[in-house]
Amino acid sequence: MKKLKRPKIPLYIIATLLFGLKTYVVYRMFGMEIENSMQELILLINPFVSAFLVFALSVWFNKHSRQMKFIRYMALIGSLLVYANLVFYRQFSDFITIPQLFMGSNMSDLGSSILTLLQPYDILLFADLVIIWYLSKKRQETMTVDYPKSGKMFAMAMSLVLLAGNFFLAEMERPQLFTRGFDREYLVKNVGLLNYHVYDIVQHSKTESQRVFADGNELPEIQEYIDENVKVYENSEEMHGVAEDKNVIFISAESIQSFVINNNVNGEEVTPFLNSLTQDEDTYYFENFYEQTGQGNTSDSEFLVENSLYPLSRGAVFFTHGGNEYQGIPEIIDDEGYHTAVLHANNKSFWNRDGMYNSLGVDKFYGEKAYEVTPENSAGWGLKDKPFFEQSIPYLNSMEQPFYSKFITLTNHFPFDLPEKDASIERYDSSSSTLNGYFPAVRYMDEAIEDFFGQLKDAGLYEDSVIVIMGDHIGISANHNKAMAQYLGKEEITPYDQVQLQRVPLFIHIPGHGEGEVKSKIAGQIDMKPTMLNMLGIEQPENGIYFGNDLFAEERKDYIALRNGDFVSDNYISTSGVCYNRETGEPVEQSTSEEGSSDANGESQSQPASPCAPIQKKVDKELGYSDDIIYGDLLRFMDFEDEEGKEEEENN
Task: List, in sequence order, every beta strand (DSSP E) within 336-440.
Answer: 339-343, 364-366, 378-379, 382-383, 403-408
- Asked whether residue 599 carries a pLDDT value surpassing 50, the answer given is no
Residue 649 has a pLDDT of 47
Q: What is the pTM of this model?
A: 0.78
CA-wise closest residue to 254 among 280, 291, 303 = 291
Of the ranges 40-49, 163-172, 541-550, which one carries the lowest mean pLDDT score?
Answer: 163-172
Residue 598 has a pLDDT of 44
Residue 600 has a pLDDT of 44
Higher pLDDT, 183 or 433: 433
Query: With bands split at pLDDT 50, 70 and 90, how would you rate the model's confidence at 352?
Result: confident
For Cα atoms 45, 50, 51, give the angle at the middle one, nearest 5 degrees. 100
Percentage of the chain modeled with pLDDT above 90? 56
Query: With bands split at pLDDT 50, 70 and 90, how would you rate the model's confidence at 32?
Result: confident
Rounded average pLDDT over 116-129: 86
Of the ranges 49-63, 200-214, 275-289, which one carries the lowest mean pLDDT score?
Answer: 200-214
Cα–Cα distance measured from residue 537 to residue 550, given in angstroms and rounded to the nearest whole number = 12
Residue 487 has a pLDDT of 97
Catalytic residue IDs: 298
Q: What is the pLDDT of residues 442-492, one digit of tens each?
A: 999 999 999 999 999 999 999 999 999 999 999 999 889 999 999 999 999
Q: What is the pLDDT of residues 610-621, one digit of tens each?
A: 899 999 999 999
For Cα atoms 136, 138, 144, give the angle at the middle one, nearest 5 degrees. 45
Phi, then psi, of 154 in degrees rounded to 5: -65, -45
Q: What is the pLDDT of residues 414-447, one digit of tens each?
A: 889 899 999 999 999 999 999 999 999 999 999 9
Higher pLDDT, 10 or 469: 469
Domains of the chain with CATH codes: 11-210 (no CATH), 237-557 (3.40.720.10)
Distances (CA, A) of 605 to 172, 590, 592, 594, 614: 21, 16, 10, 6, 19
Cα–Cα distance measured from residue 94 to residue 103, given in angstroms and rounded to the nearest whole number = 16
- Asked whether residue 31 carries a pLDDT value surpassing 60, the answer given is yes
The DSSP 8-state label assigned to residue 234 in this structure reads P
- Asked whether residue 642 carries a pLDDT value surpassing 60, the answer given is no
- Asked whether residue 204 carries a pLDDT value surpassing 80, the answer given is no
Rounded average pLDDT over 167-181: 71
Percentage of the chain modeled with pLDDT above 70? 90
Angle separating helix axes 613-631 and 193-213, nearest 10 degrees: 60
Query: With bands split at pLDDT 50, 70 and 90, how would you rate the model's confidence at 96?
Result: confident
Residue 408 has a pLDDT of 96
State the average pLDDT for the chain: 88
Task: List, in sequence order, every beta strand (DSSP E) within 486-563.
Answer: 506-509, 518-519, 523-524, 559-561
Residue 594 has a pLDDT of 44
CA-wise closest residue to 128 among 74, 86, 84 = 74
Rounded average pLDDT over 82-100: 80
Residue 165 has a pLDDT of 86
Cα–Cα distance measured from residue 630 to residue 310, given in angstroms and rounded to the nearest whole number = 9
- Asked whether residue 27 carries a pLDDT value surpassing 80, the answer given is yes
Higher pLDDT, 190 or 640: 190
Q: Give the burial string for 17-51 (b: 16+ CB within 10 Å, else e).
A: bbbbebbbebbebbebeeeeeebeebbebbbbbbb
* DSSP SS3 for 147: coil
Residue 203 has a pLDDT of 75
CA-wise closest residue to 315 among 82, 627, 84 = 627
Q: If you average pLDDT over each of 97-106, 124-133, 198-207, 530-539, which comes out highest?
A: 530-539
